[in-house]
Every structure is written in C-alpha cells, then in structure tokens.
Structure 1
Amino acid sequence: MKYYAAVMFEDTDQLVDIARAAEAEGLTGVALADHVAVPEGFASVHPSGENPFSHTSPFPDPLITASAMLSATTTLEVLTYVYILPMRDPFSVASQVATLSLLSNNRLRLGIGVGWLREEIELLGADPSSRGRRTDEMIEICRRFWRDGTAEFHGEFFDFGSTGMYPQPEAPVSVWVGGKSEAALARAVRNDGWVGMNYDLSEIHRLLDRLGELRKEAGKEDGPFETMVIPNAEPSPRLHDKMNEHGVTSTIAMPWYPGDPTHASIEAKRDALGRFADAFIRR
C-alpha cells in the first residue's frame, strides 16, 4: 500500500518542511487540496454531506505548492486531491503540468475532478451543468499537447487550429480521476487511476467491482491502474493489506487531523509522521 499524507489547512511556511519530513519517513507522497476562490455563504454541499470549510479557509494553489515541495525533495510524489479541472482553461493547465513534470522527474500525480462547489465554478466563468463534458475535452486537449507538442481540437467547448506548446513532458503525465458517479468511474478508466474519498467498506467493494467491470469492458483489466480510497474504519496495517488484496493501491494517511491545534508545530507533525511510519510502513 502506498501512503499519501493529507496536507490541508496548514501554515504555508510549514509546507516544504512537511514534504521533506514525509519523504524522510518513507511515505510515497503528499496530497494537496484545491480551491481558488470560495464564495461566502455558499449553499453547495460537499459529497461527504458536510461542509468542511468556509470562505476563510486557506487553500494555497496546489500546483505552486507542488512546485516548492517537489523542488525540495528527490523521491516524494505530490498528488492534487483533487484539482478542479473544468473551472480552468486547458492551455494553462497543460503548460503548468508539463513544466512541473519536467522539473520534478515526473513526480506530479494529477488528481482531477469536476468539482462540487457550484458557486465557485460559476465565479470562475464555467457552467456547472456541463462541467463533466468540459472536463473530458480538457483532458483530451492536455494529453494531445503533452504527447505531440502541437495540437488542434474541435469540440463543444474548445475549438482551435494547430497550436504548439513546448517543451513536452518526458514521460506520460499520470491522471487520476475523482468521484464515484458512473460518469466519474468511466472517466477514471479512460485515464490512469481513480481517486476515492471516505467510504464504508461495503461501498468500496461495490465501487471496486464496478471499476473492474468498466476496465474489462474497455479492455484495460490487465494494464496499470491506480486506485486510491479511504475506508471508513479504524486504520490498521491488516485493514490496508486486505484493501490492497482487493485492488486498492494507495490511501490517504492522516498522521494528524488537518487543523488540529495539538499538531500546530512542525516538530509535532514530524513526530506524528514518524509514529505513522513506524506503525504502517516500517512494520
């Protein structure tokens, strides 16, 4: 099982030190949340059924944060968990991700989603009702630029002739798709992995079974595919081993609860990462 430490609501001046500590303790990577501008008093409800933050919660840009973390480490991966693709434009995303991939020796994992905060998506100029179709076009555009350098596209949302974007990544960018709807699972199968959230074990098994069916239908059941999910159960090495046997390749590590005042200092976070590694990685 691969472990990515959740990094959310932390002091900005600690972010690079958290990345270094996670790498030193043997975690695979860190996972960064994404929001750009959160309208005050939003009505949209998070997929968990709760609203875990407000318009004053800190969300440093995940790609800029990833750049700092990746430049300060040598093996650590950084996962965007998840980057809300349809409220951006494909050209900026493709260029920024390609640059990060090149500068980090391909250690960025682009976790993407269609988003749930409709007010934010509207604020940034996109139509929430078409965000899934827009996302599909954006992924295709990004992949064309990453693969060929020069691309053209004629779709519902984007229409442009031959256009160049260089340099290209030296290795394929790994795109993992978040969400549990049928459309999200199918989108994940068309890409490189699936990013889940906190689900009961019975729901995890149902989602894994459906992913398996979709991969088989697409002729991709034997290829590489990342599957990340967080079981709603007491974390334990035995639980994670059983999840791994069922096809889960990675999960989110929670050495401390985001925003926990008892872990406000970087020293407390280092200690928590060490205890987690002793229990789950160096066992």
Structure 2
Amino acid sequence: MPTVLGTPLFGVQTIATDETLQPARLGPALEERGFQALFLADHSHIPAGRPTTDPRGGELRRQFFRTLDPFVTLGTVAGVTERLLLGTGVALLVQRDPLQTAKEVATLDFLSNGRAVFGIGAGWHRGEMRNHGTDPRTRGALLDERMAAIIEVWTKERAEFHGRYVDFDPLFAWPKPVQRPHPPIYVGGGSAKAIARARRFGGWLPNAVGADDLGAAAEQLASAGPDVPVIVNAVPPTAEAVAAYREAGAAGIVFHLPDVPPAEALRRLDAFAALIG
C-alpha cells in the first residue's frame, strides 16, 4: 500500500450514480479537502420482478439501481486528480471475468501512475449473482480462484492458471500494474471467511461498528491479526468514532457519502473534512 497509509489514510466511499455528484467534480473536491482516497461500490444491475431488500433491512435505495461502473468512473477521477487513491469498495469479483478485470485494474493503475486499490467482495444479492452465472453457494471459492488468477496475470510475463473455476493456458497481458508486486488488495466483509481471505490477499475492508458500540472498535480490528492492515468503511462521522478507530490502529478511516444532491454532498464532505483535521 502507498506510504500515505502511515498517516493514517482518510477517505470517502460512495455509490456513484447518474444522479449524484459527478466524478469529475467529486475527485477534485476530495483532494481539496485533504482526503487521500475514494472507494466506489459495484453493482451491474438489480434483478426486477420480485422484492429486493437491503442487507441492512428495508427496501433497496434508489442508488443500487443506478450504479455507475466503478472502473470507468475511477478512470474519470484519475484524469482530474493527482494524489487521490482510487479504490473499489468493493468490486464484486464473483460477477466479473477475471482476465478482463485484471486488465481494468492494471490499466487504472498504469494511467493513474500507481494509485489503484483493489477492494473485492463476494457480494450479497443472490439474484444479481445468478444473472452472471454464479452459484451463490460456491461464490467464496470462486472469489479465491479469480483473485489468485488475477495476481498471476499482474505478476507474470507468461501467466497461466488451472483451477476448478478458472482455467487458462499461458498467455500475455499488458499493461502490468505500476505498483509492485501489484496494487494492494483489500477484502470486504465481516465474516471469519472474509478475514481469512484478507490474511491471504493482503488487507481487510470491513464496515465499522455502529456509533453506539465504539467500544468494540479495537476488538473488531484485533480480529484480523497484527499483520493485516485494516481500512474501516462507513465509520460514523463523529469525532468519537474517528478517535476510536485511530486508537485501535486502523490503517484507513473511510466515511460513507450517501446519495444526496450535489450541493448537499459537498456540505457532507466539508463536515467529514472537519473531523480529519
């Protein structure tokens, strides 16, 4: 991970849509306010024809139906920023072709001069997975193989992979990422399997505990172990929550920017910026 993580890193995560603050404005707004990273969510679509519920309860919010592609959006942000780290939070790799995804992340890293951060996750919307031909019951094993195959493509001149779900003979693929050995990988999710996956691939990107349970912040980070850097997503925007996660040793603190009109989004960013000093 870039050395900015030693500061620690402060960032913003959002679900970019055709109705929210456009990426060409969002990226510079973050840099101007002292943020070091942007993380974007990933949904190709939401299946119609049956009730769809948010994993946190209630009906899905409008933004899930209108999500912009994170890699195209981050490419736009790369062109109008100089320092901002460009992350997926998280890319649904179980719904993406591994060779094409390897190309997209490497291209983003190349064009941004080494600013890509690859957040990955197994997803939660089973109907969305099935429309991509993914069996929800085996998505964890599929995620592991696809990530391992992508690393091979990034790091080998002649990449080759033979697994149960991913299989290809030797191939050439450029560009290679600017970062060595490859862009940092952060695994989303709060389960024991997600934490084990984070230990295997590099870093962990869990959602924060709630504002009423900040005493559990240190316990949450400790569950990953001392050698796993943790970027905490959706940290409650309070001074108490920021202090709790900094004291717990978080490598990164990320605030969630909801789907609000552009003027309100800028006001929210000002409020977040006041918390990071």
Q: TM-score, normalised by structure 1?
A: 0.84
> What RMSD, in angstroms, separates the aligned Cα atoms of the two structures?
2.3
Matched to 2:24, the amino acid is V
In the superposition, relative to structure 1, how do residues 153 and 116 fare at CA in structure 2: closer, same or farther (>3 Å)?
Answer: same
Name 1:247's counterpart in structure 2: 249
Deviation at 1:127, TM superposition (A): 1.1
Single out whichever of 113-122 and 9-18 deviates more from structure 2: 9-18
Does 1:208 pair with 2:210? no
1:113-164 per-residue CA deviation (whole Å, 9 max, x = no partner) reads: 0000000000011111111001100111111111113211111111221111
Whether the 8 Å CA contact 2:158–2:170 is kept in 1: the answer is yes
1:25 pairs with 33, 53, 58, which one? 33
Whether the 8 Å CA contact 1:180–1:207 is kept in 2: the answer is no
Deviation at 1:72, TM superposition (A): 0.9
Identity rate of aligned residues, in percent?
30
In the superposition, relative to structure 1, how do residues 274 and 98 fare at CA in structure 2: closer, same or farther (>3 Å)?
Answer: same
Distance in 1 of aligned mates of 2:59 and 2:157: 40
Deviation at 1:28, TM superposition (A): 1.0
- SS of the residue corresponding to residue 105 of structure 2 reads helix
Distance in 1 of aligned mates of 2:51 and 2:275: 38
Whether the 8 Å CA contact 1:198–1:229 is kept in 2: the answer is yes
1:68 pairs with 50, 73, 76, which one? 76
1:270 pairs with 261, 266, 272, which one? 266
When the two structures are aligned, how many residues end up with a matched partner?
A: 264
1:191-225 per-residue CA deviation (whole Å, 9 max, x = no partner) reads: 2211111423355443322211xx6xxxxx3xx72
Whether the 8 Å CA contact 1:38–1:55 is kept in 2: the answer is no
Deviation at 1:32, TM superposition (A): 1.0
Whether the 8 Å CA contact 2:218–2:244 is kept in 1: the answer is no
- SS of the residue corresponding to residue 199 of structure 1 reads coil
In the superposition, relative to structure 1, how do residues 180 and 114 fare at CA in structure 2: closer, same or farther (>3 Å)?
Answer: same
Deviation at 1:69, TM superposition (A): 0.4
Does 1:184 pair with 2:194? yes
- SS of the residue corresponding to residue 211 of structure 1 reads coil
Distance in 2 of aligned mates of 1:180 and 1:174: 19
Q: What stretches of structure 2 of length at least 5 have no aligned partner?
A: 1-7
Deviation at 1:9, TM superposition (A): 5.2
- SS of the residue corresponding to residue 24 of structure 2 reads helix
Matched to 1:276, the amino acid is F
In the superposition, relative to structure 1, how do residues 209 and 174 fare at CA in structure 2: closer, same or farther (>3 Å)?
Answer: same
Matched to 2:266, the amino acid is R
Distance in 1 of aligned mates of 2:64 and 2:150: 32
Q: TM-score, normalised by structure 2?
A: 0.86
- SS of the residue corresponding to residue 240 of structure 1 reads helix
Name 2:23's counterpart in structure 1: 15
Matched to 1:225, the amino acid is P
Deviation at 1:5, TM superposition (A): 1.8
1:218-242 per-residue CA deviation (whole Å, 9 max, x = no partner) reads: xxx3xx72332444x5611x43133
Name 1:101's counterpart in structure 2: 109
